[in-house]
Structure 1
Amino acid sequence: MTPAARISAAIEVLDDIIQRRRPASDALKDWGLSRRFAGSKDRAAIASLVYDALRRKASSGYAMASEESRALVLGMLAGLRRLPLPEIAPLFSGENHAPAPLSSDETALLTAFSCDGAPDWVRADVPEWLWSSFQASFGEAAIAEGEALAERAPIDLRVNRLKASRDAVLTDLAHFQPEPGPWSPDALRFHAGHDGRGPSLQAEPGFFAGAFEIQDEGSQLVTLLAGAQPGQTVIDLCAGAGGKTLALAALMANRGSLYATDLDSRRLAPLHERLARSGAGMVEIRIPRSRGHEPLADVEGQADLVLVDAPCTGSGTWRRNPDAKWRVRPGALAERIKDQAEVLARAARLVRPGGRIAYITCSVLPEENDDAVRAFLGRQPEFAPVAPIDVLKGAESDLSLLARFATGHGLQLSPRRTGTDGFYLACLQRGG
């Protein structure tokens, strides 16, 4: 496919996403299945165009005076990819599957491309209904934080201490030009190319040998700061596919007891294969037999650490899932807040006196972070927050600079602040 034909395809996929309010991944998959002529590089390029258009949906719509798919793609090419008009115009020739030629209005808007005078939420590319929460979290930096969340994310991996060192993996993957992560002692970072594609790390021998896993450095950081130690009893209460479970096993040097569970047992399916590859032999997966069944009833009140990777809106991962921010609705936020209260109550029953809960979200919204912790502390007076500075002092490496990002009860990471996804961590200790 030509670059122009790929743009036509991206516009078609965006039409499907917007009109049917469906996830971008589903629309892209359906498009690919019905267009067998498109090769893997074509599909990847089209996906990159679609996701880039969604990153700047609000600002592109404003600058191009339209929220139609064609306008969003034009705005993305001018705004995010910074193509000048002489490079954009030939891609819209109307020939050989290219989109129709630019209108005089489109040409004028592209020539004067600007978001000057736009509302703050538009400039930040944040949904209007979430703007007050976003501002409450970031204050005067809210627009800049939104812009950072609208950029492409790098690709991070976590070196598996049980099988390799960071220096060894750095050498093995030198052909991809990795760089050490700025915070986590186990992180390596790779930057995507102009087309948004990164290296095929999961095709590398080191991946199959369990030397590393793909994991955002922010996810690595909050797991590290949770404070798991070798020999402890630790529970990963919302383990999902197990990224943090694997990181915990490595931090515990494969010594102690580590339980992984999730209310949705289907999410645990990939963990079995990942555990075998990682060499983590001390993990026990507990699968709930039915709704309401507590698979950890036998260890209630015994855990040194319960890690709660709570269900949330995912606002901190908008770089990786740009369509998600336009699909989330107020009802979903209210539902997540309810889920967070329930999972924290469950964690409280599992932790021993003197033990701690590490409450984690991939959200930047205070309702899901400090507010959720404050509500929990009001319901559970036997728990007290661990001061963020003390959480940082307990880390194995010097992370004291992160103290700048302390909130009322925890730490808030973000792409602009830390170069990571927007993770939140609060540690809550049960009185002894």
Structure 2
Amino acid sequence: MRIGGRLAGAIEVLEDVETRRRPIANALKDWGTAHRFAGSGDRAAIGNIVYDALRLKLSHAWMMDSDAPSALAHAVFFRQWGFTPETLAAKLEGDKFAPAPLAQETLQAFANRDLADAPDYIRGDLPEWILPAFQENFGEGWLSEAEALNRRPPLDLRVNTLKATPEKVKKALSRAGAEFAKIAPDGLRITPGEGADRLPNVTAELAFQKGWFEVQDEGSQIVAALACAESGQQVLDYCAGGGGKTLALSAFMENAGQIHAYDADRTRLAPIIERLRRAGTRNVQVHDAASGLEGMEGRFDRVLIDAPCTGTGTWRRRPDIKWRLSEKNLEERTAQQAEVLDSACGYVKPGGLISYVTCSLLPSENQNQIERFLEHNNQFEIVSLQEVWSGQFPSAGTSPHFSAAGFATLTPAKTGTDGFFSALLRRKS
């Protein structure tokens, strides 16, 4: 496909996402099924246009004076892919598969507008009601934090040290351009490309099939390490989901001790069995019902709570959820988080630790949630993660945002990772 066909395909997908409020991945899959003539490079390029368009949806629409899918897709080329309206028009000339040209008034708006004149929430490409939360969390640095969430993410991998070393996996993935991560000691990173460039399909590599590595954002690796699980301990991963952090904990513990991976959502939990088998773990028990944890109250050295959240820290990878998020969604999530915290805390033994984690950057899901919990649970106290950090990551070239209370917030701008919040609480003896 030439560039015109790719642009037209992206417009179709954007229309599908908008009108049917569908996840990007589903819309792209259906488009590919209906257009089997499109090669893998074409589908990747169309996906890049769609994701780039939705990351900057508000500012694209403001600059073009239109939020129509065609305007958003063209804005990707003008603002992110290095084209001018003139150079793109020259590329599309004579291409029978190219979309209809933009209206003259749309091109005029783009030529005359300056994003610096836009309202703050548009400059940051944030839902307007979210802006105060970002300003509360990051103060004067809120805009740089928001902007970093609107860039393409890298592909991060966690080396499974039960089977391989970072050096061994880096060599195996040399064709993919894998480099050592800057913070996570077992992490590798493949930087994102530009324009139509696509990231490699690393799960097709033999090294993946052998269980040498998992795809996992570096931030997720870091917050798993901040749970401070040690070899031989009893650990509960209370909201285990697909098992990414469970696998990391098992490697940190060198397959010794015991991990209980629990999630009430069987659909989310389902992939964990195959992942555990491939990784070669021997110290994990999986539970899909709370009844499996009966009799274990007060027995765990560590309880990791990867709480259900709005996912605001993952907007680089899932920009469509940014525009579907509502205040009602946030209220539902905070209620679930309070319930999970109150349920899981009883499993911690005296002197043991709760690691509370979200992939959110909203205070109501993070520091406010911990403050609420401590008001009703005075047998717990905060452990400063600023003190833990240097012990866990002595060679790190950067660090998260640390609050006065000792909570840690990782962000694309500060740590180059997805956004994560982490708090560590000790049950008093």
Relative to the length of structure 1, the TM-score reads 0.95
Counterpart residue number, 2:371 = 374
C-alpha separation in 2, matches of 1:129 and 1:58: 14
- Aligned residues with identical type, % of pairs: 45
Write the letter of the residue equivalent to 2:173.
Answer: L
Are residues 34 and 407 of structure 1, via their aligned partners in 2, closer, same or farther at CA, if it must alter by over 3 Å?
farther
Q: Secondary structure at the match of 2:228?
A: coil
Write the letter of the residue equivalent to 1:256.
Answer: G
Are residues 196 and 57 of structure 1, via their aligned partners in 2, closer, same or farther at CA, if it must alter by over 3 Å?
farther
Q: How many Å apart are 1:388 and its aligned residue?
A: 2.2
C-alpha separation in 1, matches of 2:404 and 2:159: 29
Structure 1 residue 316 corresponds to structure 2 residue 313:
yes
Residues 50-99 of structure 1: CA distance to partner in whole angstroms, max 9, x if unpaired?
A: 11100110000000011111111122221222322232223554841211
Q: Secondary structure at the match of 1:294?
A: helix
Give the paired residue count.
Answer: 428
Spell out the pairing of 1:192-211 with structure 2 (5 A cutoff). Answer: 192-194=192-194, 195-211=196-212
C-alpha separation in 2, matches of 1:79 and 1:144: 18
C-alpha separation in 1, matches of 2:261 and 2:109: 53
Q: How many Å apart are 1:403 and its aligned residue?
A: 6.0
Contact 1:393 1:400 in 2 (8 A): no
Counterpart residue number, 1:417 = 414
Contact 2:261 2:286 in 1 (8 A): yes
C-alpha separation in 2, matches of 1:26 and 1:91: 29
Spell out the pairing of 1:171-182 with structure 2 (5 A cutoff). Answer: 171-182=171-182
C-alpha separation in 2, matches of 1:358 and 1:186: 20
Could you tell me which runs of 5 or more consecutive residues in structure 1 were left unpaired when the two chains were aligned. Answer: none
C-alpha separation in 1, matches of 2:33 and 2:401: 48
Structure 1 residue 154 corresponds to structure 2 residue 154:
yes
Spell out the pairing of 1:99-114 with structure 2 (5 A cutoff). Answer: 99-112=99-112, 114=114
Counterpart residue number, 1:331 = 328
Contact 1:235 1:260 in 2 (8 A): yes
Are residues 116 and 104 of structure 1, via their aligned partners in 2, closer, same or farther at CA, if it must alter by over 3 Å?
same
**Structure 1 range deviating more: 150-159 or 380-389:** 380-389
Spell out the pairing of 1:385-404 with structure 2 (5 A cutoff). Answer: 385-395=382-392, 397-399=394-396, 401-402=398-399, 404=401
Q: Secondary structure at the match of 2:225?
A: helix
**Structure 1 range deviating more: 402-411 or 329-338:** 402-411
C-alpha separation in 1, matches of 2:224 and 2:34: 41
Counterpart residue number, 2:53 = 53
**Structure 1 range deviating more: 215-224 or 78-87:** 78-87
Could you tell me which runs of 5 or more consecutive residues in structure 2 were left unpaired when the two chains were aligned. Answer: none
Relative to the length of structure 2, the TM-score reads 0.96
Contact 1:155 1:198 in 2 (8 A): yes
Contact 1:392 1:399 in 2 (8 A): no
Are residues 80 and 359 of structure 1, via their aligned partners in 2, closer, same or farther at CA, if it must alter by over 3 Å?
same
Write the letter of the residue equivalent to 1:128.
Answer: E
Counterpart residue number, 1:31 = 31
Residues 247-299 of structure 1: CA distance to partner in whole angstroms, max 9, x if unpaired?
A: 000000000010101010121111111111111111111121xxxx4321121
Two-structure CA RMSD over aligned residues (Å): 1.7
Counterpart residue number, 2:428 = 431
Q: Secondary structure at the match of 1:235?
A: strand
Counterpart residue number, 2:67 = 67
Q: How many Å apart are 1:395 and its aligned residue?
A: 1.6
Counterpart residue number, 1:168 = 168
Residues 321-377 of structure 1: CA distance to partner in whole angstroms, max 9, x if unpaired?
A: 011100111110000000100111111111111101000000111111101111111
Are residues 403 and 57 of structure 1, via their aligned partners in 2, closer, same or farther at CA, if it must alter by over 3 Å?
closer
**Structure 1 range deviating more: 264-273 or 238-247:** 264-273
Contact 2:381 2:425 in 1 (8 A): yes
Counterpart residue number, 1:40 = 40
